[in-house]
Structure 1
Amino acid sequence: MSRVTTHVLPPISNNASSFLIEAATRSYKHQYANIYYLRLQHLKDIVERRASNKWKKAAGNAVFVPRVLEVVKAQLSYIVGTVYMEMPLKPNVLRDLARDRSLPNPAPPPKMCSSEDSIMLEDESGRIVLVGDVIKSAQLVTGVILAALGMETPSGEFEVVDICFAGLAPQTRNQPLTQPTQSDAMEVDSEQTLDRRDDDPWLAFVSGLDVGAEGGQDAPIELLTGYLTGEMDASHAPVPPSQISRLIIVGNSLAPYEAAVQPKEVTPTELRKKKFGNEASTFSNVPGITLANHLLDIGQTLPIHLLPGPNDPAGSIMPQQPFPRAMFGKVASYATFSCETNPTFLHLSNAESRTSDDGSISCNLLINSGQPLNDMFTYLPSPPVTRLSTLESTLRWRHQAPTAPDTLWCHPYFTSDPFVIKETPNLYVVGGQPRFATKVVRESMEETEDGSERSCRIVMVPTFSRTQELVLVNMRTMETRTMRFNVEGVGNGVHSVQEAAL
């Protein structure tokens, strides 16, 4: 089988963030407050310029106040700062320390939002409470940089009448996307609206294989492997396997390990025979070997990018560092097998170098395994907020993990905040989600500082162990399709592979 090929190239600009923590910066002695300061310093001027353009013709001659505590009562003004959400249900270390330790900790609530929440805006001078219907309906999370237009009330609060974010970051190369038709709001694009070619490279995304989970997903994963390698009949597949140029595994490849040791009475003689009086390890390496075998089968025909996720045996703080290649056996010797950080930024092209100017297809990808979105979603009421709308907001905030380090663990950076989105990708993919969803996010020439149009396809990749879905994206048109690998009557060997319904 002849397969369409793509290549990983260096980023076009220097704005692409590196999430690899080098030895020189791997330090934990710094305060987390540095991250908020660096974030505000990077985005404050951008937000201020955008707010100035937005409100320069506003009635009342609004003036910019450089510090939030310098606002004047009854004077229309706008301020820029970092959002802080005061939420009674949010985890609190001091409250945990004061709790009666003889009682088990209560289960964390699925949502941290409540009617008692308050929203504040802070900078280096202090904090001011934001009030008003506009700010209550804005659906914000801690760590967002914004400008607020309004005036201080007699009680010392700042009543907001409008807000402004940084907007989409500059885009070095605007990949052609579908026209802004009804397909932008559909889960899967309609074939009639897109110009598909037989030589278009497609990218395959899967998340949450959960190899080793109880109940097992062996049959769907075997079907997935057979499709990607071209060993299975794919006549009814939405995309021929020969057009899939890469597989990107977006976290949670292995199921979380759960000890299965049952406590039992131990005699003194047995205790003396045990090393340090401990039970022998019950850890099984079978899931790791099984995953390595699947990767080897796929890696022989297809380049693979592997990101760690929250359930994988990797560091729990963001950004997660790459897996050790030695974990995966023979496939680790392939140059086409890449262990990535989480998040990661990739620049892909069907040309071998950037000097090629023969109509080559190029695409910038920003990918993470879902921890930032899952954490932000606990701040927001749903409905009306959806995961897709929250993911869209991160582009307009220019930050993919604003809740770090407040409720999302992250490395204590002290020179830069790598989670700031300095360049709008063509494709923004998030794994570990309950269901598939996608949308094209756009900004017109009138909304951007340089007068250029910007657009980005955002994609939520569902957990494979629950949905058996594979997501496919066309690198040229950003068309999206899904495939579901259903297994029916496994005992009789009957299976079906079907495209997700529109």
Structure 2
Amino acid sequence: MKSNTNGTTRRSLGYENTSQIFLNKKYDYNKQYCSIYLARLQEMEVLLMERVSSKWGDKYPIGKLHKLSDENTEKCVVIGTLFKDQKLKPSILKQLTEPSVIVNTIHFTDGSDKLFIEDEIQRFELLGSIDLKYVVTGISCALLGTSMGKGKFMVNDYLFPGYRNQVERPIFNDSAFVIFLSGIDFIHHEHYMPNLQLLSCWISGMLGDVDIVSKVTRIIIAGNSIKSSSEKHNPEISIITRRTESTETIEAVASFDKFLSQLCQLVDIDLMPGENDPSNHILPQREMHHCMFPLSTIFKSLHCVTNPYSFSLDGLKILGTSGQPVRDIMRYSEITESIDAMESCFKWSHLAPTAPDTLGCFPCYDKDPFIIEECPHVFFSGNQKEFSTKMILGEEGQKVRLISIPEFSKTFEAAILDLKSLECSRIVFDKS
């Protein structure tokens, strides 16, 4: 239990950090990144074979792409990884050879986009019923169709790995709440410091709502606490030039530490790094170093965690990211809502399918850490344009609460989740 300023006690729950898979320390940079796709496909192939058997039985043979001859017109099932050829996709070679070219779009789909399926050896262009607008590179799938010759495959039907198994959701006899925040952006906090103070006062119980506040067991800060956007730089400077942190960033870290130390006296805090925070840039992101927060780390209630982040509270399993995978999915498809991109992750059984193609990640060759091994009860994504939530249902009765967390610096909003009912709503800290 923790005591608040008004003397009330705060409920606590059994906590377990289950993010060990995102802490692999053995990375080999001597191999090609294509090995990641092979590791992903090998694991996904087992799941897809089970789904193929369940949906289509043994009516159709399962073939390898490189064995489909030009003359073979027999309908069959093939398993592979989707690749989306997009002419608008940014190219590192173009940036190196044409530094004056500035990409001014955040959406890279075009009518000329083409979709392919590939395995260890071969690649086929896809035609037919699969809609390339709503998929991205890196998805493992099984296709039912016919080879048309000349490297083309006509798709009649398809399936993705789908939802994984889910443990039974624990029963809570009383409400317990978790607060989700993201995009605090402390570099610009002076513009909305009253809103942050309002948040701190509310958590302390000074503003009333004691019945709810005393049941807030944890706050998840899902990335971009220091800054929400990358620093602008001279395009003529080499993109591989190392840049040191600015004085502004260092001052923002110190200010954030003071604010964080206030919250840590009241409730457990899980602090995730974001795309623009002082941490490694590529996924999985390691914990931000405790040395950056000397005032806060004296409290055991501060937990610097990874991105992605997986944990459980009294057996309720929660999984989420600081938002990079969801935003990347929307950039390279015509999925326009973050909540829909999050739902697609469960259909594809993958947290970050576009990594490493358009989203940087560590070279993991033996096992892909972003494959969803177990279906959580709650899935969140930080740093989205607006708050959104949805309960989704899997084919075998899995239920997952999706939470799209808005940027606090722009909306002054947080998400509050009741672990008993899995109902989620937004809470606004606006003094205007």
TM-score surpassing 0.5? Answer: yes
Partner of 2:254: 289
CA distance in structure 1 between the partners assigned to 2:358 and 2:300 by the alignment: 37
Q: Deviations over 1:328-362 (max 9, x none)?
A: 1222022221000110110111xxxxxxxxxxxx2
Show the 5 A alignment for 1:109-258: 109-132=105-128, 134-136=129-131, 139-175=134-170, 199-213=174-188, 216-234=191-209, 240-255=212-227, 258=231
Quote how far apart the aligned CAs of 1:28 are: 2.5
CA distance in structure 1 between the partners assigned to 2:249 and 2:362 by the alignment: 30
Quote how far apart the aligned CAs of 1:92 are: 2.1
In 1, are the aligned partners of 2:123 and 2:151 still within 8 Å (CA)?
A: no
Q: Is 1:106 aligned with 2:102? A: yes
In 1, are the aligned partners of 2:177 and 2:416 still within 8 Å (CA)?
A: yes
Instruction: Label 1:151 to 1:97 Cα distance change in 2 as closer, same or farther (>3 A).
Output: same
CA distance in structure 2 between the partners assigned to 1:42 and 1:155 by the alignment: 29
CA distance in structure 1 between the partners assigned to 2:260 and 2:320 by the alignment: 20
Q: Secondary structure at the match of 2:23?
A: coil
Structure 2: 5+ residue stretches without partners? 1-7, 234-245
Paired residue total: 411
Quote how far apart the aligned CAs of 1:31 are: 2.0
Partner of 1:435: 386
Q: Secondary structure at the match of 1:135?
A: coil
Show the 5 A alignment for 1:74-473: 74-99=73-98, 101=99, 104-132=100-128, 134-136=129-131, 139-175=134-170, 199-213=174-188, 216-234=191-209, 240-255=212-227, 258=231, 282-283=247-248, 285-349=250-314, 362-381=315-334, 385-445=336-396, 453-473=397-417
Instruction: Label 1:156 to 1:487 Cα distance change in 2 as closer, same or farther (>3 A).
Output: same
CA distance in structure 1 between the partners assigned to 2:247 and 2:60 by the alignment: 66
CA distance in structure 2 between the partners assigned to 1:56 and 1:476 by the alignment: 40
Partner residue of 2:63 out of 62, 65, 68: 65
CA distance in structure 2 between the partners assigned to 1:147 and 1:205 by the alignment: 36
In 2, are the aligned partners of 1:67 and 1:79 still within 8 Å (CA)?
A: yes
CA distance in structure 2 between the partners assigned to 1:371 and 1:54 by the alignment: 33
Give every structure 1 segment of 4 or more consecutive aligned residues whose post-TM-superposition deviation is greater than 4 Å: 256-260, 281-284
Q: Secondary structure at the match of 1:153?
A: strand
Quote how far apart the aligned CAs of 1:98 are: 4.2
Quote how far apart the aligned CAs of 1:137 are: 5.5
Quote how far apart the aligned CAs of 1:319 are: 0.8
CA distance in structure 1 between the partners assigned to 2:164 and 2:66 by the alignment: 25
CA distance in structure 1 between the partners assigned to 2:77 and 2:57 by the alignment: 11
Quote how far apart the aligned CAs of 1:155 are: 4.4
Partner of 2:35: 34
CA distance in structure 1 between the partners assigned to 2:62 and 2:222 by the alignment: 43
Residue type of the alignment partner of 1:128: F
Instruction: Label 1:92 to 1:333 Cα distance change in 2 as closer, same or farther (>3 A).
Output: same
In 1, are the aligned partners of 2:133 and 2:334 still within 8 Å (CA)?
A: no
TM-score by length of 1: 0.77
Q: Secondary structure at the match of 2:260?
A: helix
CA distance in structure 1 between the partners assigned to 2:327 and 2:164 by the alignment: 23
CA distance in structure 2 between the partners assigned to 1:232 and 1:85 by the alignment: 52
Structure with bigger gyration radius: 1
In 1, are the aligned partners of 2:144 and 2:158 still within 8 Å (CA)?
A: yes
CA distance in structure 1 between the partners assigned to 2:51 and 2:413 by the alignment: 40
CA distance in structure 2 between the partners assigned to 1:459 and 1:221 by the alignment: 21
Q: Deviations over 1:146-170 (max 9, x none)?
A: 0111111244411111110111111
Residue type of the alignment partner of 2:368: D
Q: Secondary structure at the match of 1:162?
A: strand
TM-score by length of 2: 0.89
CA distance in structure 1 between the partners assigned to 2:177 and 2:157 by the alignment: 41
Q: Deviations over 1:468-497 (max 9, x none)?
A: 111011112211121111122xxxxxxxxx
Instruction: Label 1:201 to 1:325 Cα distance change in 2 as closer, same or farther (>3 A).
Output: same
Instruction: Label 1:413 to 1:108 Cα distance change in 2 as closer, same or farther (>3 A).
Output: farther
In 1, are the aligned partners of 2:308 and 2:319 still within 8 Å (CA)?
A: yes
Residue type of the alignment partner of 2:57: K
Q: Secondary structure at the match of 2:283?
A: coil
